[in-house]
């Protein structure tokens, strides 16, 4: 885990909302979230699929389809990115902010060698010769742990294992020294040992380059390893926000507790069995009043009507610094994790 940087955030997102225009009307996917990340810091955005975490990161990158309406502020070093023309955004994408996706195969072109692809990513933002770009590509492939990088640069994606391909994608993302790296489920498609290697690699490059890392994940084990701060999302909204210790030792939102209850842990006494959260997440836009987690929540009876009639907003936890939860239950639910 990186030491949090005290020089202030490099990326700030305020009141981000994303709505998709569809044949069946407007469908809200993200409903007013805020987050920030500083150089050298890792923010994990956690939630089930459909929670809005990937849509949020694509909105930051300006990568949403044309039927998406995005409002709110996305500030990179104080510069507003939301609403920038595409050619301006292209200069920033891959250069100041880069992204690593889950599926390395679809991020790489099967017809070009990996070295060529990393070099081209460099040439997109630097006016250099092919020779200079190639040597930069080899340097990056070496840095991300591709053995014999000068020779393997001439290999094609299908000649690499899944873990090695993901290393190539990371080299491509880092080749321009981005200040912010967004990694969207970067290890989901990999086996456990390779997952650990890739996360260690991200941690190392972050230490070396001081990159701010936003990790999109549903895997709390990975989050516990690398994150400084955590944003838990549910149904397009923030359910809880705080440090990684806040989440793992003082979780206050029933949804966060449900996620933790479903995770095997070695730091607490063993439970007879892991728990699961009953039901499924709501379809976007289907819950317009009350708490979006209410249909699945085991604590509604402790609050009553308010859970159905009044939408809970993120509220600071007394005496817990910046730790916030969006739940009407003013105290931490009594649970055995
Ligand atoms: Fe559960 Fe009510 Fe809290 Fe929502 S506001 S998480 S329904 S207790």
pLDDT in tens, 212-244: 999 999 888 889 988 999 999 999 999 999 999
CA distance 215 to 44: 5
Q: Domain 1-96+178-276 belongs to what topology?
A: Rossmann fold (3.40.50)
**Ligand 1, pocket residues at CB < 6 Å:** 253-254, 291, 293-294, 297, 299-300, 303, 307, 312, 327-329
Nearest to 37 by CA among 82, 74, 80: 74
Q: Ligand 1 mean position to 229 CA, how many Å?
A: 23
Residue nearest to atom 7 of ligand 1 (CA): 294
> For 107, what's the count of Cα atoms within 13 Å in the CB-facing half-sphere?
24
pLDDT band for 335, please (50, 70, 90 cuts): low
- Give the model's pLDDT for residue 5: 47
The answer to whether residues 240 and 45 touch, using CB atoms and an 8 Å cutoff, is no
CA distance 3 to 5: 6
Residue nearest to atom 3 of ligand 1 (CA): 327
How much is the pTM?
0.91
- Give the model's pLDDT for residue 336: 41
pLDDT band for 307, please (50, 70, 90 cuts): very high
**Which ligand 1 atom lies nearest to the CA of residue 254?**
6
CA distance 177 to 48: 31
Distance of CA 312 to the CA centre of its chain: 23
For the chain, give every domain's residue range: 1-96+178-276, 107-169
Question: How many CB atoms lie under 10 A from the CB of residue 169?
Answer: 29
Q: Ligand 1 mean position to 33 CA, how many Å?
A: 18
Residue nearest to atom 2 of ligand 1 (CA): 307
Burial of 250 (0-12, 13-18, 19+ CB in 10 A): middle
Residues 46-82 pLDDT 10s: 998 889 999 999 999 998 999 999 999 999 999 999 9
Q: What percent of the chain has pLDDT over 90?
A: 64
Residues 103-160 pLDDT 10s: 777 889 999 999 999 999 999 999 999 999 999 999 999 989 899 999 999 999 999 9
**Which ligand 1 atom lies nearest to the CA of residue 255?**
6
The pLDDT of 78-92, averaged and rounded, is 91
Q: Ligand 1 mean position to 253 CA, how many Å?
A: 8
């Amino acid at each position: 885990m990186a030491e949090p940087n005290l020089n202030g955030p490099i990326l700030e997102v305020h009141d981000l909302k994303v709505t998709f225009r569809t044949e069946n009307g407007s469908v809200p996917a993200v409903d007013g979230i805020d987050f920030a990340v500083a150089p050298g810091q890792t923010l994990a955005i956690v939630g089930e699929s459909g929670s809005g975490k990937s849509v949020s990161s694509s909105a930051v990158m300006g990568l949403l389809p044309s039927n998406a309406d995005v409002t709110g502020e996305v500030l990179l070093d104080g510069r507003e990115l939301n609403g920038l023309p595409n050619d301006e955004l292209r200069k920033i994408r891959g250069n100041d902010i880069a992204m690593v996706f889950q599926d390395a195969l679809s991020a790489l072109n099967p017809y070009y060698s990996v070295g060529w692809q990393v070099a081209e990513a460099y040439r997109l933002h630097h006016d250099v010769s092919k020779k200079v770009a190639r040597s930069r590509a080899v340097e990056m492939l070496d840095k991300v742990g591709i053995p014999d990088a000068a020779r393997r640069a001439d290999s094609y994606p299908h000649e690499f294992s899944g873990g090695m391909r993901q290393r190539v994608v990371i080299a491509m993302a880092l080749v321009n020294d981005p200040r912010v790296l967004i990694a969207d489920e970067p290890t989901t498609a990999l086996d456990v040992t390779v997952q650990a290697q890739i996360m260690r690699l991200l941690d190392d490059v972050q230490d070396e380059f001081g990159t701010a890392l936003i990790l999109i994940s549903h895997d709390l084990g990975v989050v516990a390893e690398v994150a400084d701060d955590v944003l838990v999302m549910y149904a397009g909204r923030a359910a809880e926000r705080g440090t990684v210790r806040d989440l793992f030792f003082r979780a206050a939102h029933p949804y966060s507790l449900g996620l933790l209850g479903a995770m095997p842990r070695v730091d607490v006494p063993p439970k007879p069995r892991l728990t699961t959260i009953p039901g499924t997440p709501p379809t976007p836009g289907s819950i317009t009043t009350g708490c979006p987690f209410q249909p699945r929540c085991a604590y509604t009876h402790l609050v009553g009507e308010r859970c159905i009639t009044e939408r809970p907003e993120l509220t600071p936890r007394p005496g817990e610094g910046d730790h916030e939860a969006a739940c009407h239950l003013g105290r931490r639910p009594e649970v055995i994790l």
